[in-house]
Amino acid sequence: MTRYEQLAAQIRQQIEDNIWQSGDRLPSLRDTVKQSGLSLMTVLQSYQLLESQGWITARPQSGYYVAHRNTGFAQVTASKGLHMSENVEISASIFNVLQACKDPNIIPFGSAFPDPSLFIQPKLSRALASAARHLAPQSSVINLPPGNEKLRRNIAQRYALQGIHVSPDDIVITAGAMESLSFSLQAVTEPGDWVVIESPAFYGALQAIERLRLKAIAIKTDPVTGICLDELEKVVEQYDIKACWLMSHCQNPLGGTMPDENKIRLVEILAAKQITLIEDDVYGELYNSPKAPMPVKGFDKSNSVLHCASFSKCLAPGFRVGWVAAGKHATKIQQLQMMSTVSASMPTQQAIADYLSQGGYDGHLRRLRLLLEQRRYRMLQAIQTHLPKDVKVNIPVGGYFLWLEFEPSFDANTLYHFALERGVSIAPGAMFSTSSQFNHAFRLNSSFQWNGQTEKGMQIIGEGCRKLRRK
C-alpha cells in the first residue's frame, strides 16, 4: 500500500468511527502535511482518492468536507433451509441470459465478466506478441499438463507470499477457472454422488453438477459470512457427501466473504468425514480490506482442499488461463485434461509467466481494486436514486457484484424481460438455484464505467421495479 493510500485508509477509518461526521470540515491540505510529515502531493492524492470513493467532497475555496453517504440499505436475508436436487437442469436458462450480454447494444449489468476496459495492458500485450513470435517447436510438448513450468512456479511463489506451501508440481494450469473446477469435481466424484453447494450458488457449479449427473444439496448461505456451517455439519452426518463446492471470497452472487474462524471450522467439518473441498477463489484478488484474505486452502492440514483460481477476473479475461492447486489429485486432473482440452493455450501461458516475472502485477491489482470500489459506490448511488426505497442490497467488501432483493411476491424474471426489451440485462435470481426461492432477487455487475448510458440503464431497472410492485 502506497503512502497516500495509507493516509486515505486512516482518514476513512476516522470517518467510519465518527471522529469526523457528515458535513465536518477536514483539516486543510497544509495542516495535514504538517501533522503527517508527508508531501503536499501525497496528501492531495489521498484527499482525491477519498473524494473519488465518495467519502469526502471538495468545496471551492473552502476545503474538503465529509460527504453524506446514504448507503444504508436494508440487509438482504439468507436463504431458507435445505434444497435437494437429484436431477439438476439449469443450463438452458443460463445460456439465454449470458447470450444477451454479448450484444454490444445491451447494457451488460447481467454479465458475469468485469468491464474489459479495465484490462488494457500494453505490457501484457507485448508479452503475448513476444511469446507468439518466439514459440519454440517443442513448446507444444513442454507445456502439456500440468502446464508451463515458469507459470506454475510464479503461482507457487504467490501462494508462498501468503504463507501457503504449494509445490509447483501440485499445480495444474487449465483453460480458465471453470475448467479447473469441473475437472476437480470430476476427479473426486462419480455419477449419482451427492455434492454440497451454496444457496444461492454460482451457476457454473449447477452446470457442472448437471453435466456430471451428480445430486446437489444446497445449504443456506449468509450474504455476509457464507455457507451455514451448522447446517453443513448436519448434512455430512446424514448423507454420504463426496465433495463440497463453494466460494470463500466475494461469493457469486451474494458477495459475502467467510471470516477466518468459519474457514477453520469448515476445514475441520469436512476433514472429519474425508470430504474434498473445491474452493472457487476466482475473486480472491479483488478484496477491499486492508490485507488479502486467506483462502480456505491456507487452513488445510490434510491436503483435502482443491484451490481453483484464474487470471480471468483480474488480469486477462480473454486469455482463459486458470489453475488448480490439486495436491494428491494433480495426476488425475491432468489425465482428465488430456482427454478433454489437452492444455490451456501455450502462448498465453508463456505470456502471463513472462508478465508476472517482469513485476508490476501487484500495482495493477491495487489500481483495479480501487476502480472497482469507486464504481460499486457509484452504482449504489444510482440504486438509491432510481430504485424503490424498500430494495434490499448486500454491499460486499470486494468483487464487482451487488445482490438486490424485494419482497417474495416480486418477480425478477419479469423484470429481466422488461429490462432486456429496453436494452438492459440483469442476472435474475433463478440463475443461481434449482428452486424458486430467489425469484424475487437479482444480481447487478457494478464494474462498468459510469456514464449517461449506464445511468439510463439504472433508470430503466427502477422503472421496471416500480411497475412490478404496483401489480
For residue range 358-375, what is the model confidence (pLDDT) as tens digits? 888 999 999 999 899 889
Average pLDDT over residues 254-273: 96
Indicate whether 68 pLDDT > 90: no
Question: What pTM was computed for the model?
Answer: 0.86
- Residues contacting residue 13 through CB under 8 Å, at least 6 positions apart: none
Average pLDDT over residues 393-419: 94
Indicate whether 129 pLDDT > 90: no
What grid cell was written down for 159?
A: 501462494
Indicate whether 449 pLDDT > 80: yes
Average pLDDT over residues 49-74: 81
Q: Can you give the pLDDT at residue 313?
A: 93
**Pairwise pLDDT comparison (30 vs 76), residue with the higher score:** 30
The topology (CATH level 3) of 363-470 is Aspartate Aminotransferase, domain 1 (3.90.1150)
Listed by start position, the domains of the chain span: 3-66, 83-88+119-358, 363-470
Indicate whether 93 pLDDT > 70: no
Q: Can you give the pLDDT at residue 193?
A: 96
Q: Can you give the pLDDT at residue 318?
A: 81
Check for a shared fold between 83-88+119-358 and 363-470.
no
Indicate whether 121 pLDDT > 70: yes
Cα(463)–Cα(212) distance, integer angstroms: 41
- Within 13 Å and on the Cβ side, how many CA atoms surround 304? 18
Q: Can you give the pLDDT at residue 448?
A: 95
Tell me the residue type at 99: Q
Most confident of 132-146, 330-344, 437-451: 437-451
Q: Which CATH architecture has domain 3-66?
A: Orthogonal Bundle (1.10)
Average pLDDT over residues 127-145: 71
pLDDT classification of 244: cutoffs 50, 70, 90: very high
Indicate whether 78 pLDDT > 80: no
Average pLDDT over residues 282-305: 92
Average pLDDT over residues 5-30: 90
Indicate whether 122 pLDDT > 90: no
Tell me the average pLDDT of the chain. 90
Q: Can you give the pLDDT at residue 87?
A: 64
pLDDT classification of 138: cutoffs 50, 70, 90: low
Average pLDDT over residues 127-153: 78
Q: Kindly state the percentage of the chain with pLDDT values over 70.
A: 93
Indicate whether 143 pLDDT > 90: no
pLDDT classification of 31: cutoffs 50, 70, 90: very high
- Report the candidate in 280, 299, 293, 285 with the shortest Cα–Cα distance to residue 201: 280
The topology (CATH level 3) of 83-88+119-358 is Aspartate Aminotransferase; domain 2 (3.40.640)
**Pairwise pLDDT comparison (461 vs 145), residue with the higher score:** 461
Stretch among 126-135, 215-224, 243-252, 257-266 having the lowest mean pLDDT: 126-135
